[in-house]
Amino acid sequence: MEIQPQGKAMSLNHKLSRRTVFKGAGGLAAASIIGAGAAWSGTTPAHAEGLEIVSQETDGRMQTYEFVTPSVKKPENPSFLARKHNPSATRNLRVNVLLPDGYDSGKHYPVLYQFHGGGGQYTEFDGYNIREMTAGRDLIVVMPDAGLGWHCNPVSSNVGPRNWETFHIEELIPWVDATFRTFPEQAGRAVSGFSMGGFGALKYTAKYSDKFASVSAHSGPANLRTTSKDILNGIPISDVIVRWANFTSATFELLGGTVYGIPWRQDLITADNPLENIESYRDKRIFLVAGTDRLKPLWEDITKLAEKSLLNVLNEDTVLNTQREFAEKLDSAGIKYERFEESGGHLVRPERLQQDVDGVVAHLRKAE
C-alpha cells in the first residue's frame, strides 16, 4: 500500500467539439452509408436481446448511444429529488463508447467497463479526461448509465422496471461484443468505477467472476455489512452500506422502493457483497483507492467541520473502512492486489485513474 499526497478532483467540464447525430432506425442506416457512427467502427450496431437503439451520436473517438429496454424504463412519475439528482430518471438510457485511435485498422481490442458514481451519468468519465488518458492505448472504454440503483435488480420499485444488473450484464455486454471488435472472454474485459460505481465493479466481479479479468474501485465500498462507530460519534451502526443503498435508491431512484428490501433480503446482500465472495477475485488484477479523511476529528473539533464537506468525509470514512476490511480478507486468502490510501475525501484522483487505465491495458489480452 502506498500513501500519497491528496489528488485533485477532476472537473466535469469536457465540451463536445463537434457532433454528428443520427436519430432512429433511418439515421442508423444513414450512418452505415456515409461512414459515420457504426460504419466508423467497422460494423452496424448489433441488436441485443431487449435493447433497441433510438439514437446515436459521434464525436471523434466517442460514440454515444441511446437505448430503450424493458429492463430499465424511463419513469413516468419520477420524484422531484430524482429529477434533480438522478439524470437517468428523466430520459432513456445512454452509453458512451470510447474507441481507440486507429480502430478501423481491423484489430480486436480489450474492453474496460467504467461505472459512474451515484448521481452521475454516462458522461462522468469523459469529464475525468478519459479521452486523454486512453489516447494511443489499445482499449475500448464503455461508460453506461447506472442511475442510483446500486447496480441491482431492486426488490421493489414504484416507478416501473429499473433493473440495472440485467441491463449491464445480460444486455449491454453481449451488445458490445456483437457490435465492436472485442475479445468476448474474461481475458478481454475489465470493470472499474467510482463510488457507487466502484461497488458495482466489485459486485459484478463477485457475481460474474468469469466475465472480468480486472476490477478497480475508486473510493468504492467493498463491504455492504460494515459497521461504523464514527457516523454518530461512537454509537455503532451496522450494515451501513446496505442502509445507504436502500435509502438513496428509495429517495432518488425507486420512489420509495428499495434495492435490498425491508426487511433486508439477506440472500441478495450475501450474493452482492464483495467481502463475502473473496474467492471470486482470485487470479484477477485488483486495484483499490480510498481517501483518509475521517469523521472523528470533525466531531472532536467543530472548527474542522467548517473546512470539510461533511457528506464527502462521511462517504470516504466509511469507504476506507470497507476497503481495509476487504484487504484483510484478501490477505488471509493469499490474493494479491494493489491498494492506495491518500489524503482527501470522496473524489476521483487523476493520477490513480491514469495508473488504473495503464494497468488494465497491461493486464488484459493485447489487441491483435
DSSP-assigned states of every residue in 110-137: -EEEEEPPTT--TTHHHHTTHHHHHTT-
pLDDT at residue 22, as a whole number: 31
Could you tell me if residue 122 is inside a domain?
Answer: yes
Quote the percentage of the chain above a pLDDT of 70: 80
CB 158 within 8 A of CB 254: yes
The more confident residue out of 119 and 309 is 119
Q: What is the 3-state secondary structure (H, E, C) of 216-238?
A: EEECCCCCCCCCEEEEECCEEEC
Mean pLDDT of all residues in 197-206:
98
Report whether pLDDT(86) > 80.
yes
CB 258 within 8 A of CB 249: yes
How many helices, marked H, and strands, marked E, lie in the chain? 13, 13
pTM of the model: 0.86
Set 195, 209, 219, 228: catalytic member? 195
In this predicted model, what pLDDT tens digit does every residue of 223-256 receive, in sequence order? 999 998 766 666 788 999 999 999 999 999 999 9
Assign 21 a pLDDT band (cuts: 50, 70, 90).
very low
Q: Determine the structural domain holding residue 159 and report its residue range.
A: 2-363
The phi and psi torsions of 287 (rounded to 5 degrees) equal -130, 120
pLDDT at residue 230, as a whole number: 65
pLDDT at residue 247, as a whole number: 95
Could you tell me if residue 264 is inside a domain?
Answer: yes
- Interior CA angle at 338 toward 334 and 340, to 5°? 130
Could you tell me if residue 353 is inside a domain?
Answer: yes
Could you tell me if residue 80 is inside a domain?
Answer: yes
Written as one string, the DSSP assignment of 309-336 is -HHHHHHHHHHHHHHHHHHHHHHHHT--
Could you tell me if residue 368 is inside a domain?
Answer: no
Report whether pLDDT(199) > 70.
yes
Taking residue 187's Cβ as centre, other Cβ atoms within 10 Å add up to 14
pLDDT at residue 305, as a whole number: 53
The more confident residue out of 249 and 10 is 249
Could you tell me if residue 37 is inside a domain?
Answer: yes
Cis ω for the linkage preceding 263 (within 30 of 0) = yes
> Which residues lie across from 22 on neighbouring strands?
56
Mean pLDDT of all residues in 70-82:
92
In this predicted model, what pLDDT tens digit does every residue of 300-354 receive, in sequence order? 555 555 555 656 667 788 999 999 999 999 999 999 999 999 998 899 999 999 9
In 140-195, where does DSSP find H-type helix? 164-165, 173-179
Q: What is the 3-state secondary structure (H, E, C) of 7-39?
A: CCCCCCCCCCCCCEEEEHHHHHHHHHHHCCHHH
The more confident residue out of 12 and 198 is 198
Q: Return the residue matching grid coordinates 470514512.
A: 317
pLDDT at residue 297, as a whole number: 54
User: Nearest-CA neighbor of 340 among 219, 222, 204, 192?
Assistant: 219
301 catalytic residue (yes or no): yes
Could you tell me if residue 158 is inside a domain?
Answer: yes
At 276, which CATH number?
3.40.50.1820
**Number of folded domains in the chain?**
1
In this predicted model, what pLDDT tens digit does every residue of 145-163 receive, in sequence order? 999 999 999 999 999 999 9
Set 116, 228, 346, 356: catalytic member? 346
Set 210, 283, 301, 331: catalytic member? 301
116 catalytic residue (yes or no): no
CB 158 within 8 A of CB 256: yes
Assign 39 a pLDDT band (cuts: 50, 70, 90).
very low
Could you tell me if residue 103 is inside a domain?
Answer: yes
